[in-house]
Amino acid sequence: MSEIQEKELKVGNQHILYDGSMGNVKLTSWPYLFESYFLEQHQLVTGTAQGRGTTYFFDWESHKLVLRHYLRGGVVGKFNPEFYLNTKLEKTRPYQEWQVLCELQKIGLPAPKPAGMRIVSGGLFYTADLLMHQLEGVMPLCDLLLQGELSVQRWQKVGQVIRQFHNEGVYHDDLNCHNILLRDDEVFLIDFDKAEIRSDSKWKTKNLDRLLRSLNKEAGLAKEAGRAFNFSGSAWDELLQAYRG
């Protein structure tokens, strides 16, 4: 288990929370670590990933970090991709995700370790960014299924890890096969935007149903593209059996 030493930094209109245990990161460096232009200008970027926006992977001192800018989805995102209505820090999406990630580290669940978050306020609106430590050597479940079949043991491990999160009341708002990462016999969940820690259990079946829909959707897309997507009813049964067991 690993607890985050939450520290606070305010620079102009920037409100930053960061992990104080990262002692070799100078206080003056934190605002720059949230700026993609700074990372690119100083050739610090080691890789990118495309999703709703661009995620940046980079090295700073001894740390391998990931920078994600908060972007809206859906219809609203087409007209207003990055601005959120200003509110108290505790009610903002980045703060809530930061808190969930810190709690996951505290209880020892396999999720990214947070490094920092930033809110930039401007009148009625704010923009936001999240810094996390990289999970090295991992691959999304959906990509693995395009490469070949998963062993029974790995399907079971996915089911077991989801159950661990559910046992702790961790509601993942977007549990899909892109947000499940595997590395050998390890399984991680990522992207805890809008996640919550709940005391009830009514949502757990719907959470699993969401994952099943995403697997079936990817299978359909692969079929349209003439590619194999190695997912079957028996694989899902293995996952569920491990989840329930």
Q: Are 116 and 11 in contact (CB under 8 A)?
A: no
81 and 29 co-located in one domain: yes
Q: Choose one of 111, 133, 155: the last residue of a domain.
A: 133
Instruction: Show the tokens assigned to 154.
Output: 């790995």
User: pTM of the full predicted structure?
Assistant: 0.94
Angle (CA) 92 193 19, round 5°: 75
Q: Which of 39-43, 50-54, 61-65, 233-237 has the lowest mean pLDDT?
A: 50-54
Q: Are 120 and 43 in contact (CB under 8 A)?
A: no
pLDDT at 210: 98
119 and 56 co-located in one domain: yes
Identify the helix (H) or strand (E) that includes residue 122.
strand 114-122
Classify residue 202: in a domain, yes or no.
yes
Query: Structural domain of residue 90, as residue ranges?
Result: 6-133
Classify residue 1: in a domain, yes or no.
no
Answer with the residue of higher pLDDT: 75 or 192. 192
| 78 band by pLDDT with thresholds 50, 70 and 90 | low
The span from the CA of 159 to the CA of 181, in Å, is 13
126 and 167 co-located in one domain: no
Report whether pLDDT(74) > 70. no
The position carrying tokens 């997912």 is: 231
Report whether pLDDT(239) > 80. yes
- Rounded average pLDDT over 90-119: 97
13 and 119 co-located in one domain: yes
Report whether pLDDT(60) > 60. yes
| 117 band by pLDDT with thresholds 50, 70 and 90 | very high
Q: Are 114 and 145 in contact (CB under 8 A)?
A: no
Classify residue 173: in a domain, yes or no.
yes
Residues with catalytic roles: 174
Answer with the residue of higher pLDDT: 6 or 2. 6
pLDDT tens by residue, 139-167: 999 999 999 999 999 999 999 999 999 99
Report whether pLDDT(76) > 70. no
71 and 126 co-located in one domain: yes
The span from the CA of 235 to the CA of 102, in Å, is 32
| 72 band by pLDDT with thresholds 50, 70 and 90 | confident
Report whether pLDDT(41) > 80. yes
Classify residue 149: in a domain, yes or no.
yes
123 and 238 co-located in one domain: no
Report whether pLDDT(48) > 90. yes
Strand ranges for 25-73 from DSSP E? 45-50, 54-60, 63-69
The half-sphere exposure of 166 on its side-chain side, counting CA atoms within 13 A, is: 17
Q: Choose one of 99, 133, 167: the last residue of a domain.
A: 133
| 52 band by pLDDT with thresholds 50, 70 and 90 | confident
Between the two ends of the chain, the Cα-to-Cα distance in Å is: 24
123 and 179 co-located in one domain: no
- As a whole-number percent, the residues of the chain with pLDDT over 70 amount to 96
Arithmetic mean of pLDDT over the chain: 94
pLDDT at 122: 85
Q: Are 70 and 193 in contact (CB under 8 A)?
A: yes
129 and 191 co-located in one domain: no
In the chain, the number of structural domains is 2
- Report which of 241, 66, 52, 106 is spatially closest to residue 162, judged by C-alpha positions: 241
Q: Choose one of 74, 101, 133: the last residue of a domain.
A: 133
- Rounded average pLDDT over 229-236: 97
Identify the helix (H) or strand (E) that includes residue 187.
strand 186-189
Classify residue 157: in a domain, yes or no.
yes
193 and 124 co-located in one domain: no
Reduced DSSP (H G I as helix, E B as strand, rest coil) percent helix, strand, coil of the chain, to 5: 40, 25, 35
pLDDT at 1: 53
Cα 147 to Cα 79, 211, 234, 236, distances in angstroms: 37, 19, 18, 18
The CATH number given to whatever domain includes residue 186 is 1.10.510.10
- Give the contacts of 238 (CB within 8 A, at least 6 positions apart): 152, 155, 156, 159
Written as one string, the DSSP assignment of 196-207 is EE-S--TTHHHH
- Rounded average pLDDT over 98-113: 97
The position carrying tokens 């079971």 is: 156
Provide the CA 221 distance to its chain's centre, in angstroms: 23
pLDDT tens by residue, 161-211: 999 999 999 999 999 999 999 999 999 999 999 999 999 999 999 999 999
127 and 216 co-located in one domain: no
